[in-house]
Structure 1
Amino acid sequence: MKLLICQLLQKLYVVFQKEGKCKANTPHCNLDEKKEALTGLEESFIKPKVPSLKLFVPGRACLFGEHSDWAGSYRKINHNINPGQCIVCGTNQGLYAKVQPHPTKLIMTSVDNKNKRLGPFEVDMNCDTLRKLATEGDVFSYVAGVAYQILSRHKVGGLIIDNYHTTLPLQKGLSSSAAVCVLVARAFNKVYDLKLTIEGEMDYAFMGERTTPSQCGRMDQCCAFGMQPVLMQFDGDYAKCKSLNVQKPIHLVIVDLGKSKNTHRILSDLNACFGNVSKDDSNYEVAIGVQKLLGEINLNITNRAIESIEKGEVEKVGALMTEAQQEFDYYAIPACPSELSSPYLHKLLKDEKIAAHIFGGKGVGSQGDGSAQFICKSVEDQEKVVKIIENEWKMECVQLTIGSNRTVKKAVIPAASYASDLFPASKAVSTALWPIVDSIDGLAKPAILILVEEAVSAGIEEVFIIVSQHELSSFEQLFHAHIPIEQYHKLSPQLQKYSQRIIELGRHVTFIVQQHLEGLGHAVFQAKKFIESGPFLLMLGDHLYRSKLKDKSCVQQLLEEYKGVNLIGLHETNPTNVHHYGTVAGTWNRNTDHNREQKSSLFKRLHITEIVEKPSLEYAKKHLKVDNVSNDNFLTAFGLYILDGGRLLEIIGDDIECNRRKNGRFQLTTALETLRIEQDLQGYMIDGVRFDIGASPQSYVQTLSDFSSPHLSTESKS
């Protein structure tokens, strides 16, 4: 990119020099002089390259309840059939893709898990053409089917999808076709910002796959939820999803049996057990048995499994897997013996060496000789099972641990910003070092110390504070230097003890110098080498937080709600202050709160569909209203974030390299909007009060008053 800019500037310089319009008097003027001479031309002619969005869609493993999705749909014609119910989870195998818009065509290339190149598939974005291709049932029919369903309902252009890497095995019961459909639905959603929820993406993926000859049910598209375990319930055309609360990690091994199976035959034979089945039919008893299996037996087993998962009783979950397989074998094999007898699956499930390390196991997906799954007793047992299967059975395995969300142990606090509204005081001392009386212990503390205390008390192990060069010594003096002995002896015993506490906190603190103050995104980028490998907590250096909950700080609230998805703390803000903060729009995610009793908890977690930095009130009223927010208020960033360091830093780094700024700075909010489009971005309503000490002299005075009070106001004074 830089070379391209230089070459283009050189050509423009030559042209303008000939026309006498270049300020530089010599052809040997440097690049900076040429840039200055061509002010305005860069912006007119050099457009930053729009980066491809990166998407990942996993496969899915059905822990319990296979086939109950389509079985439950028969309630449309026979209410004596029980609703379907299954427990599913995304795998850590999946499809990796880069996507970008195309004005008129849908173009896709793909690589399977054996590195075989497929495509390019290319078709005009025309409903009739797409529908025709979908019904033909070839390898790209799923792509055409989803595109047809999207185009039928939305005015979208085309896409270029490069599925450049695939780790998901095909036709092994892990829903590879559904993953393709979700990938295409998500690509349209993100590129054209259709603001679909996860359930909306699932609906389009399902409709797209059913446009093809596929007989898939609705459970397969749950891979849209990622690796979060989900309970899905099916009643006719109605499907409901609920995220499960996994109390204790479940260590799975998923095995590719390396054999073939005919999924179409399995689905066809089992479907024949529903519909118009009479007592005179030769397979009547078999059909009634299959209906019982996928109805009352399945409901009983899955309900017990839900209870065991949410209580952390992993051994019982494993035993239920074994029970589910036994019931499936008894009732389903007679309906499709050629496929469901599955000799390789059953031989593996009976392996005595494996049995010593597992709580139970069963087949995956539609069953047959596709894949198997085991629940292992521990991480060590998980490793041993993999070695046995790979060495003795010569089969490929994948380890998957459910409920092991990456813990957040690092925090970043940008504290180098210059508070111009607090000049001249901010010229002398960073606002992060200004004194605040802490109502918890009555001590006068620098604001940054209160932030570090809250982070470390919540379990954060490493805190990276971004500071300016000229203030580095002041921060180091606070956290890393002992006070002189003569001053130490003047302190009360309480303060002497607290002085040691500061040094202990300092052991968690590392300072990073930001040479140029170029925005919050730029500040976060300075910590790249420390946070790029996982999630991190972001706290704002000019904010303070006070929880309304007795035994849980604001940081603790956010950490406990983190489920591996980018998460922003949210707060209601009145319309007069909305232009000061990043503001979001979205839809409430009620599924994550299904096991909570309080009605108010239904409006705690938000699926964010837009995030805007300091919008005007007019824009906010038009685009950023959220249902069930009181008094015409808006939802704004609380000042606490848990973010995926790897991808976020790539986005900010690309902005810096291409010099993409907003209001002259590299903003965090614009990077978060890109992250929202590519991945998922959720918000969580913090039960607490936010104080912005750097906004104005009045806000600092208000913070001094309110933060020192044991009775905090219910409204933010920012």
Structure 2
Amino acid sequence: MQHITKAVFPVAGLGTRFLPATKAQPKEMLPVVDKPLIQYAIEEAYDAGIREMIFITGRTKRPIEDHFDMAYELETELQAAGKLELLKVVQSIKPEDMECVFIRQPKMLGLGHAVLCAQQLINGDPFAVLLADDLMVGEKPIMKQMVEQFAEWRASIIAVQEVPPEHTKRYGIVGGTHVRDRLVDVAKIVEKPAPEEAPSNLGVAGRYILTPGVLDEIRMQPKGVGGEIQLTDGIAGMLRREKVFAYCYEGKRYDCGSKEGFLQASVELALAHPQLGPGFRDYLKNLEL
């Protein structure tokens, strides 16, 4: 049985919605409680059994590469000071069996183009795509849920969630037939349609498992919405010859590409933190608003 061993992380965006905080650091390195956004996505992929992490980066993204590299001086100082718990935390960022590969996206031409940049490393295998802007949590990690779906159906799986009809312009929207409670056999996928043109209210979230055929479709696609090469259009083209399923995942998504979603994630994950949560909850209760 073919397993999902590779994941693509498109991280070349400029993060303009978070300026000035992102003027000198990638938005993916903004911390939610005690970890940067990108680390949540990497840990989710790792927990799903994925070991090869492919980052599609830009010229301002060196801190991401540094974060997943060995910090020799820091580790030496922690070891010498006997701060072994902190040393363990630092070393756990990149487990020994995890490989990180960085590919420069020469021009930001859209999500589809970013995924296409990983083609040589994908090498004809099915692969995952995780968007770090979408911080997603569940009792079972979202990507692990999707890997299990792929193992059963052997076809592309797209994470979806119900969205208000007035928000369809913000998402790729799928339409199709329910084959079981949380799974839809996709017949149509449209990028950011107007509410009256949307085939449903199921919006694509930032998690995908895709078969390599999508790369051929992306390569043939003209520029789509926003003048960019859209991953959604590539998936739509793939529907002509392959099954694609939309999976209504069990869990919660925080849109950390927006300031409001980032703040929501920071508060809710702080409350759920085993050490910080109780004290933070008491602080909020006593806060005079």
Rate the CA distance shift 1:661–1:585 in 2: closer, same or farther, 3 A.
closer
One-letter code of the match for 1:638? Answer: A
Q: Verify the 8 A CA contact 1:554 1:686 in the aligned structure 2.
A: yes
Alignment RMSD, CA only?
2.0
Q: Establish whether residue 637 from structure 1 lines up as the match of residue 204 from structure 2.
A: yes
Q: 2:21 matched to which residue of 1?
A: 425
**How far apart are 1:506 and its partner, in Å?**
8.4
Aligned residue number for residue 583 of structure 1? 173
| 1:302-330: CA deviation from partner (whole Å, max 9, x where unpaired) | xxxxxxxxxxxxxxxxxxxxxxxxxxxxx
The question of whether the paired residues in 2 share the 8 Å contact of 1:582 and 1:669 is answered with: yes
Say if 2:260 is the partner of 1:698: yes
Q: Give the deviation of 1:541 after TM superposition.
A: 2.3
CA distance in 1, matches of 2:130, 2:94: 21
- Structure 1 position 573, deviation (Å): 1.6
Structure 2 residue aligned with 1:651, among 214, 217, 234?
Answer: 217
Counterparts of 1:576 and 1:662, CA distance in 2: 18
Contact 1:482 1:503 in 2 (8 A): no
- Shift of residue 487, structure 1, vs aligned partner: 5.0
Structure 2 gaps of 5+ residues are: 274-289
**Counterpart of 2:6?**
410
The answer for the alignment partner of 2:246 in structure 1 is 683
TM-aligned CA deviation for residue 492 of structure 1:
4.2
> 1:556 pairs with 123, 140, 144, which one?
144
Superposition map of 1:508-519 within 5 A: 508-519=99-110
Structure 1, residues 40-69: CA drift from partner, whole Å, max 9, x if none?
A: xxxxxxxxxxxxxxxxxxxxxxxxxxxxxx
Q: Distance in 2 between matches of 1:487 and 1:577?
A: 50
Whether the aligned pair in 1 keeps the contact of 2:51 and 2:97 (CA below 8 Å) is no
| Cα deviation code 1:395-419 (max 9, x no counterpart) | xxxxxxxxx3x21111111111122
1:296-307 pair list within 5 angstroms: none
Q: Does the 8 Å contact 1:479/1:505 carry over to 2?
A: no
Name the CA distance, whole Å, in 2 between partners of 1:544 and 1:557. 15
Counterpart residue type for residue 142 of structure 2: C
Give matches, 1:22-37, under 5 Å.
Answer: none
> How has the CA–CA distance of structure 1 residues 638 and 505 changed in structure 2, closer, same or farther, with 3 Å as cutoff?
farther
Output aligned runs, 1:58-457, within 5 Å. Answer: 404=1, 406-437=2-33, 444-457=34-47
> 1:686–1:505: structure 2 CA closer, same or farther, 3 Å change rule?
farther
Write the deviation string for residues 274-308 of structure 1: whole angstroms up to 9, x where unpaired.
xxxxxxxxxxxxxxxxxxxxxxxxxxxxxxxxxxx
Aligned residue for 1:533? 124
Displacement of 1:616 in angstroms is 1.8
CA distance in 1, matches of 2:72, 2:37: 19
Take 1:474 and 1:521, find their aligned partners in 2: how far apart are those partners? 24
Within the candidate set 68, 76, 96, 1:479 is matched to 68
Provide closer, same or farther for how the CA distance between residues 515 and 492 of structure 1 changes in structure 2, counting only shifts above 3 A.
same
Listed as ranges, the gaps of 5+ residues in structure 1 are 1-403, 438-443, 591-602, 626-633, 712-718
Deviation, structure 1 residue 483: 4.9
**Aligned-residue offset at 1:666:** 0.5
What letter is aligned with 1:432? Answer: E
Q: Is the 8 A contact 1:565 1:681 kept in 2?
A: yes
Give the superposition deviation at 1:576: 3.7
1:253-283 CA deviation, whole Å, 9 max, x = no partner?
xxxxxxxxxxxxxxxxxxxxxxxxxxxxxxx
How far apart are residue 470 of structure 1 and its match? 2.5
Choose between structure 1 and 2 for higher RCO, CA contacts under 8 A separated by at least 6 residues: 2
Q: Deviations over 1:448-467 (max 9, x none)?
A: 11111111122102110111
Q: CA deviation at 1:436?
A: 1.0
Match of 2:188 among 610, 616, 622: 610
Relative to its length, the structure with more helix (as a share) is: 1
Is the alpha carbon distance of 1:505 and 1:468 closer, same or farther for their aligned partners in structure 2, counting shifts above 3 Å?
farther
Q: Is the CA contact (8 Å cut-off) linking 2:158 and 2:207 kept in structure 1?
A: yes
State how far apart, in whole Å, the 2-side matches of 1:610 and 1:641 are. 16
CA spacing shift, 1:505–1:671, aligned 2, 3 Å: farther
What SS is found at the alignment partner of 1:678?
Answer: coil
1:465 aligned counterpart, secondary structure: strand
User: Which is greater in Rg?
Assistant: 1
For residues 191 and 224 of structure 2, the distance between their equivalents in structure 1, rounded to whole angstroms, comes to 13
**CA distance in 1: counterparts of 2:270 and 2:130, whole angstroms:** 20
Question: Is the alpha carbon distance of 1:505 and 1:454 closer, same or farther for their aligned partners in structure 2, counting shifts above 3 Å?
Answer: farther
Name the counterpart of 2:272: 710
Shift of 1:491: 8.2
Q: Shift of residue 707 of structure 1?
A: 2.7
**Alpha-carbon distance in structure 2 between the residues aligned to 1:649 and 1:503:** 28
- Residue 581 of structure 1, CA deviation: 1.4
Q: Distance in 2 between matches of 1:579 and 1:502?
A: 36
Report the TM-score when normalising by structure 1: 0.36
Residues 687, 506 of structure 1: CA spacing in aligned structure 2 closer, same or farther, 3 A cutoff? same
Corresponding residue of 2:93? 502
1:606–1:683 CA contact under 8 A, matched in 2: yes
- In the alignment, is residue 523 of structure 1 matched against residue 114 of structure 2? yes
For residue 677 of structure 1, give the secondary structure of its aligned residue in structure 2: coil
Cα deviation digits, residues 349-395 of structure 1 (max 9, x gap): xxxxxxxxxxxxxxxxxxxxxxxxxxxxxxxxxxxxxxxxxxxxxxx
Amino acid at match of 2:263: V
Q: How far apart in 1 are the matches of 2:167 and 2:36?
A: 26
Q: Is the 8 A contact 2:52 2:100 kept in 1?
A: yes
CA distance in structure 2 between the aligned counterparts of 1:451 and 1:475, rounded to whole angstroms:
13
In structure 1, C-alpha distance between the alignment counterparts of 2:117 and 2:103, rounded to whole Å: 7
Indicate the SS of the match to 2:238: helix
Task: Tell me by how many angstroms 1:517 deviates.
Answer: 0.7
The corresponding residue for 1:376 is: none
Secondary structure of the corresponding residue to residue 68 of structure 2: helix
Q: Distance in 1 between matches of 2:271 and 2:82?
A: 24
Structure 1 residues 706 and 580: alpha-carbon distance in aligned structure 2, compared to 1, 3 A threshold: farther
Residues 181-223 of structure 1, C-alpha deviations (whole Å, 9 max, x = no match): xxxxxxxxxxxxxxxxxxxxxxxxxxxxxxxxxxxxxxxxxxx
User: Secondary structure of 2:226's match?
Assistant: coil
1:480 and 1:506 in contact (8 A); partners too: no
